[in-house]
Structure 1
Amino acid sequence: MSIITRAWRATALATTMMGIALGGSALAADYTLSINTALATSDPLFKGLEEFKQTVEARTNGKVAVRLFPGSQLGKDEDVLEQARYGAGVAVVVDGGRLATYVKEFGVLGGPYLASGYDGIRKVVTSPMFEEWVKKLHDGAGLQVLSFNWWQGERHLLTNKPVAKPADLSGVRMRTPGAPVWMETIRAMGATPAPMGWADVYPALQQGVIDAVEAQHPASYGSRLYEVTKHLTKTGHFNLITGIVGSAKWFDGLPPDIRKTLREAALTAGDTASRGTEASLAQIEKDMAAKGVTVTEVDTKPFREATAGVYAKLGYSDLKTQIDALMAK
């Protein structure tokens, strides 16, 4: 894609968003930030985004208007990130795998069995080490992290046949995001990775294009995957941590006090959202079971052993050692 084409797309996107966000406050504000997310409005993380919006608009006295676009209304994450790189006032709730294209270190956040629960992964994404990655992303890719403590839960397997060990996944076509660390992990677990957009998962399962999917509970239930899968196997292989990432150029053009407000509000709202996710998991499992899905606890040791080599294969051995040391503190 040429620079001219990209610039035209950025202008077109900004025009489209202005047309969508017709509220008076957006037109009166000095700055507008439009946040794109694949999440449904029922997801606990979306409630956190609503808190972020309210906090930012209140603390800036309306100088910043925040607009939320659930269901990927502004397009694919990668496309929105590209617009952000060219200075558009957009951001996206995105995982580290997609950012690894720009700064490799972010990819390790999607590694198998990296941390335990939200408290574990939060230690990584609020550390001085992580802030070094944030600076590299800002300086090298033109992208600004507001905060990266938006936990969507551990990811588990949803299949139409029982799964107890990696060998049971042989020949299973499993949807996963297209980032290398995700795909390599699913391959190591025994399945065949099938990258595709989240919106395509339900019809793909329904039509037999894929056999299975791996996902966190809020997304699985929110997308009604209980209608097209029969078994939920609790492997907890990924700890899905995401962040609000937008334009470095747009961010740098803000007054210092507003930049500070955005980052502080994002961190606080991320904690609220993540604790909401934690509180929702047990009930979601009960609801899935009530819909006819068999929820199974399995011994994760075979899956941990099968995926242990992923870090070395993708060049993350040293970084994994640093993270393990951080976790031990």
Structure 2
Amino acid sequence: MKHLLKNSALAAALLAGTTAIAPPVAAEEISATVVAGHPPVFRWVKHVSQTFIPAVNAALEGSDYSISWSEQYGGSLAKVGDELEATEEGLAEIGLVSSLFDPAKLAVQNVTYFTPFVSSDSTVVAEWMDKLQANDADMKASWEENGLEYLGGATGIDDYLLMTNFPVESISDLDGKKIGAPGPAVNWLKGTGAVGVSGNLTTYYNEIKTGVYDGVIVFASAAVPGKLYEVAPHVTRIGFGAQYAGGIAANKDWYDALPPMVQKALKGAAITNRIAYHKDLDATVGKFLNIMEENGATVTQVDEAFRKEWADGMDNVAKIWAEKLDADGVGGSRVLKSYMDTMRDAGATPVRNWDQE
């Protein structure tokens, strides 16, 4: 009997030991494809790979969940402007959505592109847009109507420039010239005599080189990696201002089915991404103009009279945009006023107070 009890105790001890050294249960693996039309040479795409994804992974470390990532950038899955549709249709679970290239579907998100000459502070612009989209019913609705959940990670764009293959000393120099511009920024050329053509960074270089464009409206932090100074060496600092170009969004059905912990990790990582991206941008944007000059570009800063002449020559595109949204039942005028008030409170001195005319 003692022998049986001894053997039973030994068996129990061995069983307990086996249980103690058993490997932990593997975390549930969630697949996620991330899409961006631009290549990772551009800062906002680079940070998705270097900041957003690692931040999600860090938040989920040691939990019951992990994510297996597939990164599809530079048009490999969707071209610039098609990220929204690719994410909505489930070709990708997460998209770096460029709202400026979806002015119909994400109309209210384009408030900054209808209000040039307001603020050059991209960090303030981006923070405001992320807060607004977290709290504003119309902003939320526009994402949800397209089957998306906005995660955050607002992409602020540094002060837009005019880069041309001819010198610009007065606004009349633009008369008849073909100038490429992104999405709603084409409106900035109204009243100048230039012919505005909708375009994007992936084609600017070749289109200037081959004579399709005589210049482009672009920002320094993209002009340098795109080497635009080689084909458009005349850089005119007009001071169009910083803009909100888009952010990180997820397929809503996919997002809604995720465990709350994973949802929280995604939105937390989007905040981390926005902060890191803008810290990086702010630290280096001043260097880009020097780099272009070192490579043979001529950089010219216009005076306030030039800026005022340009701004005053435009239609009030902001008011037209807001009133159209109001007529569609979306609070365009409310969003416009909120944006302008926020920028003025932050210290901006708009060349035109678009909301007060």
TM bin (shorter chain)? 0.7 to 0.9
- Select the residue among 337, 343, 348 that pairs with 1:327: 343
Q: Which amino acid aligns with 1:312?
A: K
Partner of 1:312: 319
Alpha-carbon RMSD: 2.4
* Partner SS for 1:314: helix
Matched, 1:105 2:121: no
Give 1:133-212 correspondences, 5 Å limit.
133-177=138-182, 179=183, 181-212=184-215
Partner of 2:278: 274
Alpha-carbon shift at residue 54 of structure 1 (Å): 0.7
Alpha-carbon shift at residue 251 of structure 1 (Å): 1.4
Q: Which amino acid aligns with 2:223?
A: S
The normalised TM-score by structure 1 is: 0.82
Contact 2:33–2:72 (Cα < 8 Å) also in 1: no
Matched, 1:29 2:32: no
- Distance in 1 (CA, whole Å) between partners of 2:110 and 2:193 is 21
Matched, 1:226 2:229: yes
Alpha-carbon shift at residue 211 of structure 1 (Å): 0.6
Contact 2:175–2:193 (Cα < 8 Å) also in 1: yes
Alpha-carbon shift at residue 114 of structure 1 (Å): 4.1
Contact 1:39–1:219 (Cα < 8 Å) also in 2: no
Deviations 1:10-38 (A, max 9, x none): xxxxxxxxxxxxxxxxxx83231313141
Q: Which amino acid aligns with 2:202?
A: A
- Distance in 2 (CA, whole Å) between partners of 1:199 and 1:88 is 22
* Identical counterparts, % of pairs: 22
Contact 2:120–2:241 (Cα < 8 Å) also in 1: no
Give 1:74-89 correspondences, 5 Å limit.
74-89=77-92
Deviations 1:70-112 (A, max 9, x none): 4233221333321211234333333332343224211213221
Contact 2:161–2:239 (Cα < 8 Å) also in 1: yes
- Distance in 2 (CA, whole Å) between partners of 1:97 and 1:157 is 18
Partner of 1:256: 260
Contact 2:34–2:72 (Cα < 8 Å) also in 1: yes
Alpha-carbon shift at residue 246 of structure 1 (Å): 3.0
* Partner SS for 2:235: strand
- Distance in 1 (CA, whole Å) between partners of 2:148 and 2:118 is 25
* Structure with max Cα Rg: 2
Q: Which amino acid aligns with 2:230?
A: E
Alpha-carbon shift at residue 123 of structure 1 (Å): 4.3
Contact 1:44–1:277 (Cα < 8 Å) also in 2: no
Contact 1:155–1:237 (Cα < 8 Å) also in 2: yes
- Distance in 2 (CA, whole Å) between partners of 1:91 and 1:266 is 11
TM-aligned CA distance change 1:320 to 1:86, over 3 Å? same
- Distance in 2 (CA, whole Å) between partners of 1:43 and 1:73 is 18
> Unpaired runs of 5+ in structure 2?
1-27, 324-331, 346-357
- What is the count of residue pairs matched by the alignment? 300
- Distance in 1 (CA, whole Å) between partners of 2:133 and 2:274 is 19
Partner of 2:22: none
Partner of 1:10: none
TM-aligned CA distance change 1:271 to 1:136, over 3 Å? same
Q: Which amino acid aligns with 2:143?
A: H
- Distance in 2 (CA, whole Å) between partners of 1:134 and 1:36 is 21
The normalised TM-score by structure 2 is: 0.76
Alpha-carbon shift at residue 290 of structure 1 (Å): 0.8
> Unpaired runs of 5+ in structure 1?
1-27
